[in-house]
Amino acid sequence: MKDSVLVINSGSSSIKFQLVDPSGGAAVADGIVERIGEPDGLVTLRHRDVDAEHRGPIVDHAEGLRLAFSMLAEVGLDLAGAGIAAVGHRVVHGGEVFYRPTVITPEVLAEVSRLSALAPLHNPANVIGIEGAMRELPDVPHVAVFDTAYFHTLPPRARTYAIDREVARAHSVRRYGFHGTSHEYVAGQVATVLGRDLGELNQIVLHLGNGASASAISGGRAVDTSMGLTPLEGLVMGTRSGDIDPGIVTHLRRSAGMDIDEIDTLLNRRSGLKGMCGVNDFRELSRLIDAGDEDAVLAYQVYVHRLRKYIGAYLVELGRLDAITFTAGVGENVARVRADALAGLEGLGIEVDPVRNTAKGRGARLISTDGSAVAVLVVPTNEELAIARQAVELVRAG
């Protein structure tokens, strides 16, 4: 039986790919094409114990995918004979149209492309990735899994911006939320780790990677999330500002003479930790903090302050809280962030155990004290596996 799924995640200048066994969860092969469009392109991949690497310019996503496929063949992976049941594509913005995994037809692809207006940094790359993979594997079903889908259930009060309703309707301006595949996967894992029913849990999930988002989840359904129309709203991120006064945009336009693209670049690429202290990787940030760099200390304080604001807001929204969970690169690896985000909340029944929090571990784990009313967890996210499972489920159902 065909039982593996090729998962493709195309970003603005990179393509991550993984061949996954959706039942066991093991990655048969995985790799990444990086720095597409730059002179120093790089492809790295691993299949079983064999590593391969290619360095050199990669003009576009289509060439990046071709290279990746031919390198997979060189390391002994014959995709045509690998028993691939489906190709799962991460698509960032599903707009108001897509809220379930969807088999990609020419019409679906045209709609994803049309939604580029809502996600100009992401959807065009997703479209190119889909086209390239369909050329390479034309006889396999391709499935789009949308980052926004999980937040389809946001109640109107949480998804509506307080702006003129006609403008909002005419331009699809509402809160969509992103990282949905991760929030959903992690919330499910929490129920498994705690041995409880997902349906009875009130949870906060903190996906803290280079992009970062928080969500409030009740009974397995998302009731609020920090990202909005675009993945720019909410928490402080590696290079994105998160929440700002929208008046800053008009101020910079009028007073600094910046055009709209410059402001877009400022907020998406030159803000967040990087904007405040020059680095966006938490390992470098920690080194700067330990060396006494004042900008780094302030950037960290702003980061944690914003995180605590969202935790407080979601705690009140949910009313009763069972679990708070950290995931993604920062959430899984930086004990200091976890400790500081929840410091002093014993009165609210939230108590992190310092030994459990700093213990080395890779899997899902509990880091709260035995007496903590709210469970605090670290759960590694696995968006590729979640995409693979959703893709194969759809294909088998059809």
Cβ-based nearer residue to ligand AMP, 75 or 335 = 335
139 is catalytic: no
Taking alpha carbons only, the member of 162, 131, 161, 160 closest to residue 144 is: 131
Q: What is the dihedral of CA 159, 165, 170, 171, to 10 degrees?
A: -40
Query: Distance between CA atoms of 123 and 94, rounded to whole angstroms?
Result: 9
Q: Which residue is nearest to ligand AMP (CB)?
A: 329
| Binding site, annotated residues for substrate | 90
Query: Distance between CA atoms of 244 and 312, rounded to whole angstroms?
Result: 18
Query: Distance between CA atoms of 365 and 238, rounded to whole angstroms?
Result: 25
Residues 278-297 that bind ligand AMP (CB under 6 A): 280-283
Is residue 333 a contact residue for ligand AMP (CB under 6 A)? yes
User: Which range touches ligand AMP (CB under 6 A), out of 157-165, 169-177, 327-335, 371-379?
Assistant: 327-335
DSSP labels, 342-358? TTT-GGGT--B-HHHHH
Other Cβ atoms closer than 10 A to 47: 19
Other Cβ atoms closer than 10 A to 320: 11
Encoded one letter per residue, x for contact with ligand AMP by CB under 6 A and - for no contact, window 351-390 reads: ----------------------------------------
Is residue 329 a contact residue for ligand AMP (CB under 6 A)? yes
| Binding site, annotated residues | 9, 16, 90, 207-211, 281-283, 329-333, 383
Encoded one letter per residue, x for contact with ligand AMP by CB under 6 A and - for no contact, window 179-198 reads: --------------------
Among 330, 367, 385, 394, binds ligand AMP (CB under 6 A): 330
User: Which range touches ligand AMP (CB under 6 A), out of 66-74, 75-83, 99-107, 322-330?
Assistant: 322-330
C-alpha 142: how far from its chain's center?
Answer: 21
> What minimum distance in Å lies between the beta carbon of 27 and ligand AMP?
15
Q: What is the DSSP letter of 280?
A: -
Query: Distance between CA atoms of 197 and 199, rounded to whole angstroms?
Result: 5
Question: Which residue shows structure tokens 């009763």?
Answer: 320
Cβ-based nearer residue to ligand AMP, 66 or 336 = 336
Question: What is the contact surface with ligand AMP in residues (CB under 6 A)?
Answer: 209-210, 238, 280-283, 328-330, 333-334
